[in-house]
């Protein structure tokens, strides 16, 4: 492809670099882009579409057949690049996988509101400013509008359930960590992605986040036990002082 031209060029290049360096998307043992399997290319292209609006395909779909489309090269695009895209879009394997992806996206009614800023990027921003944010709050930020409401009814129902369970955990009436609450609401992780965390969050990153949650939970328990021990010590000291200084009944 020719060079991208837009105010988001830098962000686009950065995101594409991250995608191709992930071995789950692009295998390492290949010398050229042409050697990468079609399913890997489709996966990466779909991931790009979760962050950016790519309009090249609209030039292809406006023509009745591939040869007419091939003859009408979009501006600022090289002929060899356009030929490659046309060949890709008419490939039966591409069309089949692309249709499956569209069906999967249609089934998912949980709507993100993050645009090009994924959940992981938001979490990193909070860490840079030394602000703590848990997974539940992060999910709320990435799935609600400026007015605090979700984009549709099902997303709002999930958000309300998250808040309800989180409140029960904080009150001590429910014993769950943050990840267990997420699984209770959304179900287990899918292969290669963490359910409802967005495309930017992968299982290895989630394991790191879960480890931090476990440490946080343990710290809370230690602090709680420390408080109980201090209270018991104070009570024993008070009893000892009473025993050493009995009150006279005279």
* Same-domain status, 137 and 172: yes
User: pLDDT tens-digit profile of 125-177?
Assistant: 555 555 565 667 777 777 777 777 777 788 888 888 888 988 898 888 888 88
Does 200 map to a domain? yes
Element containing residue 11 per DSSP (H, E): helix 9-21
Q: Are residues 81 and 13 in the same domain?
A: yes
What average pLDDT does range 22-41 have in this prediction?
78
Let me know if residue 233 belongs to a domain: no
- Is 129 in the same domain as 43? no
Task: Among 85, 107, 129, give the residue marking a domain's end.
Answer: 107
Chain Cα centroid distance, residue 106: 18
Number of domain units in the chain: 2
**Residue 86 reports pLDDT greater than 80:** yes
**Overall average pLDDT of the 213-225 stretch:** 73
The answer to whether residues 124 and 206 belong to one domain is: yes
pLDDT of residue 94 exceeding 50, the answer is yes
Q: Does the residue 239 lie in any domain?
A: no
The H or E element spanning position 41 is helix 38-49
In this structure, the answer to whether residues 99 and 146 fall within a common structural domain is no
Work out the average pLDDT over 103-118. 55
124 and 196: one domain? yes
Q: What is the pLDDT of residue 116?
A: 41
pLDDT at 242: 65
In this structure, what token pair is assigned to residue 153? Answer: 């009814």
Predicted pLDDT at 8 = 67
Residues 123 and 98 in one domain: no
Residue 7: exposure state from Cβ atoms within 10 A (0-12, 13-18, ≥19): exposed
Task: Tell whether 79 and 160 lie within a shared domain.
Answer: no
The answer as to whether 248 is a domain residue is no
What pLDDT, on a 0 to 100 scale, did the predictor assign at position 1?
A: 45
Q: Do 76 and 131 reside in the same domain of the chain?
A: no
Q: What is the pLDDT of residue 15?
A: 75
* pLDDT of 199 higher than 60: no
Q: Does the structure show a pLDDT above 50 at 185?
A: yes
Domain assignment of residue 4, yes or no: no
Domain boundary, last residue among 79, 107, 135: 107
* Residue indicated by tokens 């895209």: 85
Mean pLDDT to the nearest integer, 94-112: 66
Q: According to the model, what pLDDT value does residue 192 have?
A: 47
What's the pLDDT score for residue 127?
A: 57
Q: With respect to residue 232, please indicate whether it lies within any of the assigned structural domains.
A: no
Residue 18 pLDDT exceeds 80: no
Q: Give residue 243's pLDDT.
A: 62
Residue 242 forms part of a structural domain = no
Residue 105 has pLDDT above 80, yes or no: no
Residue 36, in any domain of the structure: yes
Average pLDDT (240-244) is 64
| pLDDT score of 237 more than 80 | no
> Residues 136, 204: one domain?
yes
Joined tokens for residue 191 = 């292969």
Indicate the residue among 73, 107, 141 that finishes a domain. 107
Answer whether 0.75 is exceeded by the pTM. no
Its domain, for residue 59, covers: 9-107
């Amino acid at each position: 492809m020719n060079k991208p031209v837009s105010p988001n060029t830098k962000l686009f290049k950065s995101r594409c670099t991250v995608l191709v360096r992930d071995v789950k998307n692009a295998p390492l043992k290949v010398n050229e882009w042409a050697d990468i399997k079609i399913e890997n290319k489709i996966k990466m292209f779909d991931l790009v579409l979760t962050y950016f609006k790519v309009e090249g395909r609209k030039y292809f779909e406006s023509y009745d057949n591939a040869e007419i489309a091939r003859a009408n090269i979009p501006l600022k695009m090289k002929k060899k690049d356009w030929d490659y895209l046309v060949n890709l879009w008419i490939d039966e394997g591409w069309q089949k996988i692309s249709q499956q992806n569209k069906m999967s996206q249609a089934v998912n009614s949980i709507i993100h509101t993050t645009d090009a800023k994924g959940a992981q990027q938001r979490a990193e921003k909070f860490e840079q400013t030394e602000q703590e944010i848990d997974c539940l709050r992060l999910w709320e930020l990435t799935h609600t509008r400026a007015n605090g409401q979700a984009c549709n009814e099902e997303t709002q129902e999930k958000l309300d359930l998250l808040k309800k369970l989180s409140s029960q955990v904080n009150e001590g009436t429910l014993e769950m960590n943050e990840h267990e609450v997420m699984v209770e609401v959304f179900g287990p992780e899918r292969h290669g992605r963490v359910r409802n965390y967005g495309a930017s969050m992968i299982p290895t990153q989630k394991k790191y986040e879960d480890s931090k949650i476990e440490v946080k939970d343990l710290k809370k328990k230690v602090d709680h036990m420390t408080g109980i021990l201090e209270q018991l010590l104070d009570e024993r000291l008070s009893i000892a002082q009473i025993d050493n200084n009995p009150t006279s009944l005279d």
